[in-house]
Amino acid sequence: MINKNELRLLRGALEKLEAGFTDLPEFIPEFDETALADVLGEVAERMQDNYPYYHPLYAGQMLKPPHPVARIAYAMSLWVNPNNHALDGGRASSAMEKECIVDLGAMFGWESPLGHLTGGGTMANLEALWVAGRLHPGKRNIASTQAHYTHSRISEVLGIPFSPVAVSSNGRMDIDAIEALLQQGDVGTVVVTMGNTGLGAVDPLPDILALREKFDFRIHADAAYGGYFGLASNLNADTEQAYAALTHVDSIVIDPHKHGLQPYGCGCILFRDPSVGSLYKHDSPFTYFSSAELHLGEISLECSRPGASAVALWATQRLMPLEKGGEFANDLGCSLSAARNFHARLDAIEFFTPLMAPELDIVVYAVNAADTTTASASARRLFDSAADKGLHLALIELPVSLTGHWLTDIEVNSDSITCLRSVLMKPEHQDWTQRIVAILEECVA
Ligand SMILES: *Cc1c(COP(=O)(O)O)cnc(C)c1O
């Protein structure tokens, strides 16, 4: 779990940091070491009550530890504890945040986006939909039934009407259903999910963009989970086209704490048109906004924010730039390969029916049974017995209308069916699918 070299690297980084603060009279805070050690021992013991997210046999939810460079940079910056709300709270870390935003925007082909880091995808989506609502007052937000539930809830918070859009059997937003809603004339914003959290399906962005020729609406891309996958070199052709089209949307949410190797507390909102910055401030003296000109507190709904998040992200992007063909991109490709591989292995086993082929790195699979109620109960039992053998999976509840296309020989005696779900988001998963499947087979036997 812990590579001891990290502790050595942290010490070295701290010594370098401290060397920048030697012109003041010496001042070293003191503490009672024994008391701290006692409490820390207790904390370590409490923290043992977690699933082993770092291990490839954790193949459940979207969880993994940050990259060592992010963890060390984050920890180091805590001795300063910068606040990126305002420049005097975090001068260096604010500059680093702006550089991160430039690189994230460039990944989507944006030259001067307005953007900043947030506490997570929820806050980032709140900002996107708040701006969308200001620009299309009184209009409706629509998002897929497989979109993150945060969109209907955020719409409620903002007092914006919301409608769900049906998905096709591949989990993507159904284009005819979108058009039918657009024809009603009151849609202000279409939320397009670039990799939904349950299935990893990518909404058909090129088709949605084409609808803008007939209808006037804003497009917000929720790429909290899937935003980085445009860098991977092994996407399906249509998924790749959807990512290529991202450059034409109005706003993008991406979560560095999902696939960007960051500790929690790191989401990001990007707006293609920096002039939306004027919405944040009613008496702004600026006529043109870009993240480079404003300090971050002026373009963020949140006030105090951890500068440490920006420091960690900057270090990670420095070590592993957001480039096609680079190490970071290749690791995403490995996750996708792992998911494809896992899907194929499951398909070869009598006991399971995997649903749609993975577009990103999520695999959803049903347990074969005579009817949907039995299949659900078996999935839940398997979830428990796998955990007993050290293999940690996740469950997902899906409407039978969605699974019907994949599960053809099953009697439907419930509205929904519980399936197993694995997010294979660690590149190492590629080398572990065989072992994971072997454990599943043991459980079944
Ligand atoms: C995780 C996720 C969110 C919510 O983001 P948080 O960082 O958990 O607040 C929103 N949308 C999608 C698609 C997600 O995967």
CA distance 36 to 114: 43
Q: What is the pLDDT of residues 403-428, one digit of tens each?
A: 999 999 999 999 999 999 999 999 99
CA distances from 126 to 85, 131, 268, 366 (A): 18, 9, 11, 34
Q: Which of 319, 346, 374 is the last residue of a domain?
A: 319
Q: What is the pLDDT of residues 41-56, one digit of tens each?
A: 999 999 999 999 999 9
Domain count, the chain: 2
Structure tokens given for 135: 């620009």
Q: Is pLDDT at 290 greater than 90 in this prediction?
A: no
Question: What pLDDT shows up at residue 283?
Answer: 53
Q: Is pLDDT at 150 greater than 70 in this prediction?
A: yes
CA distances from 316 to 68, 264, 313 (A): 9, 14, 5
Are 223 and 239 in contact by the 8 Å Cβ rule? The answer is no
Q: Is pLDDT at 338 greater than 60 in this prediction?
A: yes
Kindly state if the Cβ of 354 falls inside 6 Å of ligand 1.
no
Question: What pLDDT shows up at residue 280?
Answer: 84
What confidence category does residue 187 fall into, taking pLDDT thresholds of 50, 70 and 90? very high
Average pLDDT of the segment spanning 167-180: 98
Are 191 and 154 in contact by the 8 Å Cβ rule? The answer is no
187 within a domain of the structure (yes/no): yes
Average pLDDT of the segment spanning 302-331: 97
Q: Could you tell me how far CA 23 lies from the centroid of its own chain?
A: 42
Question: What pLDDT shows up at residue 284?
Answer: 46
Average pLDDT of the segment spanning 105-110: 98
Structure tokens given for 288: 């043109």
Q: Which domain holds residue 338?
A: 327-444
Question: What pLDDT shows up at residue 299?
Answer: 85
List the CATH number of the domain containing 366. 3.90.1150.10
CA distance 439 to 382: 11
Q: Is pLDDT at 228 greater than 70 in this prediction?
A: yes
68 within a domain of the structure (yes/no): no
What's the gap in Å between 123 CA and the centre of ligand 1? 9
Kindly state if the Cβ of 225 falls inside 6 Å of ligand 1.
yes
Average pLDDT of the segment spanning 251-260: 98
Rounded to a whole number, what is the distance in angstroms from the first to the last CA of the chain? 31
Kindly state if the Cβ of 262 falls inside 6 Å of ligand 1.
no
Question: What pLDDT shows up at residue 289?
Answer: 46
CA distance 177 to 171: 13
DSSP state of 202: B
Question: What pLDDT shows up at residue 288?
Answer: 41
What's the gap in Å between 283 CA and the centre of ligand 1? 32
| 125 and 171 part of one domain | yes
170 within a domain of the structure (yes/no): yes
56 within a domain of the structure (yes/no): no
Lowest mean pLDDT of 38-42, 231-235, 283-287, name the range: 283-287
| 313 and 352 part of one domain | no
Mean confidence (pLDDT) of the chain: 95
List the CATH number of the domain containing 175. 3.40.640.10
| 362 and 440 part of one domain | yes
Residue having the nearest C-alpha atom to atom 6 of ligand 1: 121
Q: Which of 247, 225, 245, 248 is nearest to 237 (CA)?
A: 245
CA distances from 14 to 7, 8, 37, 135, 285 (A): 11, 10, 21, 46, 40
Q: Is pLDDT at 199 greater than 60 in this prediction?
A: yes
Which pTM does this prediction carry?
Answer: 0.96
Question: What pLDDT shows up at residue 281?
Answer: 72
Structure tokens given for 179: 């058009």
Question: What pLDDT shows up at residue 293?
Answer: 55
The structure tokens 């092994």 sit at 234
What's the gap in Å between 267 CA and the centre of ligand 1? 9
Kindly state if the Cβ of 251 falls inside 6 Å of ligand 1.
no
Which residues share a beta bridge with 191? 143, 220
